[in-house]
C-alpha cells in the first residue's frame, strides 16, 4: 500500500493518534538498528550519551512527528553520524567525538534569552525542556562542504521558544551563540577564529515550522559531539547555520554577523540556503556525498522548498544561496 506522508501544513501539529505514533516509532527504531548493524560500527561512542548527571533521559525516545519523516529516505547509521562531526570548539577536523564527550559538561547548563524581550530569562536547560513539547523529526542535513546525512533529531519547534521569550515588535532577528570556555572546548584556544560561534535567523525564518531546537538524537539525549544540550536544525540551509551547544539567544534588530561570515564573507553568507545551481567559489554544490558513501543530486532548499521558498520571494539583491 502506498502511504502518502502529509506535508506539515496539511496536518495540525500533534493531530495524530497515539497508535500511528507508536507504529512510526517502531519502524524507525527498526531502521536505525538495521543501519547501525550494516555499517558495522561500534555504537559505543554515541551510546555514552550525555553522562550520568543528565536527567533528561525520560523525554526519549520522543514521539515521531509524522509530518517530518523525510519521505522514507534511509536514516544515516548512528555510528557514522556520531563519528564524523564539525565542531570547531573541539578542533578543526571531523574526529572530535571523543574529545567532545570527555570535555563538554552539559550540566549545569544555563540558556540566557535576552535582547529585545520583555524580560531577560536565564533558564537552566532542564527547566526549558520541561516547558517545551519534545518530539522527534527526521531531517536531511547538507553541509556546505557537500556531504550529507539523514538524522532523527528530537527537540522542540523554535517558535515555541520565541513564544516563551515574548520578543518586542522591534526584534527583527534572532541570534544564537555557543559556549566560549576553553576548558570545555580546547579548540577555543585557536585564537584566530572569531569566537564565540554565532549564528542567526530572521524572525520569519525562526517562526517557520521547520526551524527546530535539537535536544536529543537517535532516541536519546544528544551526544556531546552533536551540540548537546541545545542545538539548532534548519534543514533547508547549509549545515553551518545549525549552531551547537547554545548558551545565549538574543533578539536583535540588526542582522547578526555570523562566525563563518566573519571568517570569509565571500564564501559563507548569512542566508546560506541550499541551492545546487549556485556553486561555492571553490567547489560545485550540484551533488553531495552521503555519509553512507553514495553520490546523490543536491535539491533546491535541500528538498524543503514547499515549506520555505515563500520566505525569500520578495528578496532582491541578497546573496540567498551562499
Ligand X SMILES: Nc1nc2c(c(=O)[nH]1)N[C@H]1C(S)=C(S)[C@@H](COP(=O)(O)O)O[C@H]1N2
Chain residues that interact with ligand X, rule: CB under 6 A? 85-89, 143, 178, 197, 226-227, 239-240, 242-245
Nearest to 209 by CA among 20, 64, 7, 73: 7
* 89 binding partner (options ligand X, Mo ion, none; Cβ < 5 to 8 Å by kind): ligand X
| Binding of residue 143 to Mo ion (CB under 5 A) | yes
CB of 9 to ligand X, least distance (A): 27
Binder among 68, 195, 240, 304 for Mo ion (CB under 5 A): 240
Burial readout 53-87 (b: 16 or more C-beta within 10 A, e: otherwise): ebebeebbbbbbbbbbbbeeeebbbbbbbbbbbbb
Give the span between the Cα atoms of 154 and 137, in whole angstroms.
6
DSSP for 73-140 reads: PPPPPHHHHTSS---GGG-SSS--HHHHHHH---SS-EEEEEESBSS-EEEEHHHHHHHS--EEEEEE
Q: Does 242 bind Mo ion (CB under 5 A)?
A: no
- Between 196 and 239, name the residue whose CB sits nearer to Mo ion: 239
x/- mask, Mo ion, residues 64-103, rule CB under 5 A, reads: ----------------------x-----------------
Instruction: Output the smallest distance, CB 208 to Mo ion, in A.
Output: 20
CB of 315 to ligand X, least distance (A): 24
Nearest approach, Cβ of 147 to Mo ion (angstroms)? 8
Scanning 139-147, 168-176, 252-260, 277-285 for contacts with Mo ion by CB under 5 A, the matching segment is: 139-147
Is 239 a binder of Mo ion (CB under 5 A)? yes
Q: For Mo ion, which is the closer residue by CB, 67 or 143?
A: 143
Please give the Cα distance from 288 to 255 (Å, whole number): 29
Q: What's the start-to-end Cα distance of the chain, in Å?
A: 40
Torsion-angle region of 7 (φ positive above 0: left; ψ -120 to 50: alpha; else: beta): beta
Which option in Mo ion, ligand X, none does residue 237 bind, with CB closer than 5 to 8 A by kind? Answer: none
Amino acid at each position: 500500500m502506498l502511504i502518502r506522508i502529509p506535508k506539515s501544513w496539511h496536518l495540525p501539529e500533534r493531530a495524530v493518534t497515539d497508535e500511528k505514533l507508536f507504529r512510526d516509532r517502531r519502524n524507525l527504531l527498526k531502521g536505525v538498528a538495521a543501519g547501525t548493524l550494516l555499517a558495522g560500527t561500534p555504537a559505543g561512542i554515541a551510546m555514552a550519551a550525555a553522562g550520568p548527571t543528565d536527567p533528561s533521559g525520560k523525554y526519549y525516545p520522543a514521539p515521531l512527528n509524522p509530518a517530518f519523516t523525510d519521505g522514507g529516505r534511509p536514516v544515516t547509521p548512528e555510528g557514522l553520524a556520531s563519528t564524523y562531526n564539525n565542531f570547531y570548539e573541539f578542533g578543526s577536523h571531523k574526529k572530535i567525538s571523543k574529545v567532545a564527550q570527555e570535555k563538554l559538561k552539559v550540566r549545569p547548563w544555563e540558556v540566557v534569552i535576552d535582547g529585545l524581550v520583555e524580560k531577560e530569562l536565564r533558564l537552566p536547560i532542564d527547566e526549558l525542556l520541561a516547558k517545551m513539547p519534545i518530539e522527534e523529526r527526521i531531517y536531511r542535513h547538507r553541509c556546505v562542504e557537500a556531504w550529507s546525512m539523514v538524522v532523527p533529531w528530537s527537540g522542540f519547534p523554535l517558535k515555541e521558544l520565541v513564544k516563551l521569550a515574548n520578543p518586542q515588535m522591534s526584534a527583527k532577528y534572532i541570534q544564537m551563540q555557543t559556549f566560549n570556555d576553553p576548558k570545555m572546548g580546547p579548540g577555543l584556544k585557536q585564537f584566530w577564529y572569531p569566537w564565540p560561534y554565532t549564528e542567526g535567523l530572521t524572525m520569519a525564518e525562526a517562526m517557520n515550522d521547520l526551524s527546530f531546537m535539537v535536544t536529543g538524537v537517535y532516541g536519546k539525549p544528544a551526544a556531546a559531539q552533536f551540540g548537546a544540550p541545545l542545538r539548532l536544525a534548519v534543514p533547508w540551509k547549509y549545515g553551518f547555520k545549525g549552531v551547537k551547544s547554545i548558551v545565549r539567544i538574543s533578539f536583535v534588530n540588526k542582522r547578526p554577523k555570523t562566525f563563518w561570515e566573519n571568517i570569509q564573507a565571500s564564501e559563507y553568507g548569512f542566508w546560506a540556503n541550499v541551492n545546487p545551481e549556485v556553486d561555492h567559489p571553490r567547489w560545485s554544490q550540484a551533488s553531495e556525498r552521503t555519509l553512507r558513501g553514495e553520490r546523490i543530486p543536491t535539491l533546491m532548499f535541500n528538498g524543503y522548498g514547499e515549506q520555505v521558498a515563500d520566505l525569500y520571494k520578495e528578496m532582491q539583491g541578497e546573496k540567498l544561496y551562499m
